[in-house]
A and B are shown apart, each in its own frame.
Chain A
Amino acid sequence: MAADGTGTETDRAIEAVFRIERARLIGGLARSVRNIDLAEELAQDALVAALAEWPRSGVPANPGAWLMTVAKRRAIDAIRRDRMRERKHEEIARTPDESADDVAEAIEAAMDDDLGDELLGLIFTACHPMLSSSARVALTLRVVGGLTTDEIARAFLSSEPTIAQRIVRAKKAIVKAGLRFEVPRGAERAARLPAVLEVIYLIFNEGYAATAGDDLVRPRLAQEAQRLGRILAALMPADSPDSAEVLGLLALMEIQASRLEARTGPDGALIPITEQDRARWDHLLIRRGFDALARAEALGADGPYVLQAALAACHARAPSAAETDWPRIATLYDRLRIMMPSPVVDLNRAVAHSMAFGPDAGLRLLDGIDDLAALRDYAPLPAARGDFLFRAGRLAEARIEFEAAARLTRNSREAAFLTARAQACGE
């Protein structure tokens, strides 16, 4: 049945075109109907129409515009039907001049307002700070990324009903709040941007660094986050200071992703950056990361993502671990702890200073961490202190720290590594 085979192939080709257009289509429709569910339904209707029409007519030159026109038609038809029904019920209440046609025409006029920023509007709405970060993540992956609820559930080790429920609630909250699916401007955009960047970086980290989840789905999350970051960087005005953090996040993700293949050994164990085989880093991604970072730095901003990207770039730039520019890393951590105060940043800063200026500098900074109590059960703290003491020749004290770290870590390989370091300190 050659005809069937061809038909399937045509359908797949049409569905691929639809997938490319889907998020922008939903963004544009949601802006008119203020409802993601309805927008998704209308987009689906447009796909059905395309599957019927395109095998005969061929894929139109501008498939996005074609799909949008069809979906808008459906929307207006639906609105007219609803209005007609309403009129039958409340004929007396309605003023004569407010006919269904007028309403539909007004909506049609609003729909023709094509600003070309439907996708960006959808991203900002799905990442609205009024939604919890887990709701933002699920909704963004579903409506912007086009992942199925099943894929999202598997990636986050959650059940499909839980994720579906989370998405339903988020959509309802958006309708209830009357969000307009627009791109915020000026100060509001700057205020809303962190919620968007947080979602993208959460998705990236879930794919890149998470310890749980389905191994086959997780790399897709990291790629999806990179794609979102690239889209956002391309759609944001290039010269806006707001774009600096977008580019910073993009640079951070590109550089971190460049190490994806090199960061695990054949047995699945994580390999620390200083031990990785740098020939296995993806230099194409590193180049892209450097590019994005240079553009971010040219905007003169010093936000947390730009600084973290600059840190990642220091490692990417060093031909070998021994050639790492630790003084620069130490300086960047000095700045990062002001932008993003956290005991973990303080700890990493102490490590950087120990590498740049010797173990005593590291020990001084460790003792000076304000919120040391927050790191009480955090294995990297005694591990770092043990390392500083070991390098300072204070072996007996180092041994106690390494043993404490080995007890705290939940990772058996790391525990073995730390026990070995404790033993290397002698009795």
Chain B
Amino acid sequence: MSNKDLEVIIATDCGSTTTKAILIEKKGDTYRQTFRGEAPTTVEAPFEDVTKGVLNSITEVEELSGRKILDGERIITPNNGNVGADIYVSTSSAGGGLQMMVAGAVKAMTGESAQRCALGAGAIVMDVLASNDGRADHEKIERIRQLRPDMMLLSGGTDGGTITHVVELAQFLKAADPKPRLGASYKLPVIYAGNNKAHDQIKAILGDTTALIITENLRPSLERENLMPARHKIHDIFLEHVMQQAPGYPRLMKMVGAPIMPTPAAVGTMTEKFAKANKFNVLAVDIGGATTDVFSVFSEVFNRTVSANLGMSYSISNVMAEAGLANILRWLPFDIEEQDLRNRLKNKMIRPTTIPQTVEDLQIEHAVSREALRLAFDQHKALAVGLKGVQQERSISDAFDQTSSGASLINVMRLDYVIGSGGILAHSPRRTQSMLMMIDAYQPEGVTRMAVDSIFMMPHLGVLAQISEKAALDVFYHDCLVRMGTCLAPKGLAKEGQLIMEWEVTGSDGSRQAGELRFGDIIHVPFAAPKAKLVAKPVKGFDMGAGSGNRVEADIEGGVVGLVLDGRGRPFNLAKDPSKRRDDLNKWYKAMSMYPL
């Protein structure tokens, strides 16, 4: 079908708990999301058939829209009047998503490349094995045996180089005889993307005991990373092996008009399309109950990481364990006993569907969320390093630099746009809460626009972008993004109360706002104009992106929050004295009208 024929699209995302369906219709020249429905995901007993949840969610769309989409268990195509849809597409993260184990010869080189490759394909990386990962050989073998991944990615060595390490890894893998997570009777798929000189040996070692797939080396030379061939193989195997074993997926695969994508891969695609269309550096985050996914596009290089145990319900206690209680307590504008806080967080972990009923409880969740976002961002910065992605050359010195310093591609001064999704960001009672949580976690510098994906539509749009980029971007701009506004944060440090910037904003609707920003203050200016011109004049010692003391003119966006002028300085540190820290927090929360008094 040509894109011209696409008028009605039905899309679903099969999440681990909920299956969400959206209807997209072409209105004039523009695609708009018109109706949505949701139903519990039905991958687990007693249903064990993902299509049941899909059909239920589509039925809800039918009821709301009045459009007949289903004929029994079949989607009616093409659309004709008020019946049918032109295409049905879907993503899936149900049943734990795509779980992989990766291996590389040297942890910081091929190990890291293999990790980036698997993450970019939408996988959760259960472990990274490497010859030099510090574990004894028998410990590595035990680890391979314990984990039951969906597939494994084995890399190591540059083309034509030494084969010893990668052959050794293959031998360990064979000795461990790992079993796949689903379908005990089938062989574990292993993708080999290492030294091409070792193909024969790898086949001899793993050919009989695993479902071995050999592809191009993901690190053909020290200076070059070539992730796409292995990434494509991961997607192929996801569809051919993993999906075939998951309950009901063979049927779902027959229903769709385009290949099913792992949910994170689709979100990544949408982030990339948005960044490319606007020439933006973008950071997108999806903070869920169990995991936090971070996507970034900086200088056109895409990276994704998933922090598998940082989340707001199932993993809330792990956020406490990783961040430390002190780091959670520092965001609270009141005193709370350590024992009380510990018990509260554990009670949320064991009853993950409960919601905060009091403002105090809400503030505790917001404190945890800042730390989960911060930790996931730290992990992202650590992996989004050095290499300039697919088919990009770098010098040998860069390659060594990467291993030693891990210089990140992420530069918060050059960050143009932040998109947040996940319950805590998308459904906070006040939007100012979402915006300040992201500002506190990411500490953007200079000029940064911010939005939330209110109903987590990015997966649907990412898979749709494979068919029609226009449809995906239309809906993304008009229905998916809730623009919050822009954060203006001069980089530098000064004494409290000192003038650090003069600013003026003129909206496309002619509205004008201007003022001064003093160190230690936050100023919230409600400002809804979708487009505006900013003139910022930071004082000497403060940088808004054009160097210390230099005037900046920029295009910015207003939104449901407006402008947030963050005068807390960068790097931003909270006061060490508890009473001063609480006073500061109360002052900033009041300036943002964050919570009811």
Q: Tell whether A and B belong to one assembly.
A: no
